[in-house]
Amino acid sequence: MLKKMEKKSNVAKEREKMILISFHVPQSYVEILDELVKMGFYPSRSEAIRAALRELLNRYKLNGV
């Protein structure tokens, strides 16, 4: 089940530098992302995509963080 994101404190953890990447996705994906943001599950499209990428990397045990 999808849970709304909890805000994390950045005081104790230094933020990693973000790199801009661009890619194409179907319009239906964007509409779903926008709905998740509107419902408050994520603060932005970018954060929703980062969360999905973290989940993918964790699934394949490729996440070093």
The set of residues, in sequence order, having a beta carbon less than 8 Å from that of 54 and lying 6+ positions away, is 63
The confidence score (pLDDT) of residue 16 equals 86
Statement: residue 24 has pLDDT above 50: yes
What is the structure's pLDDT at 33? Answer: 97
Q: What is the pLDDT averaged over residues 23-48?
A: 97
pTM exceeding 0.95: no
Residue 1 has pLDDT above 70, yes or no: no
CA distances from 33 to 4, 9, 10 (A): 13, 24, 25
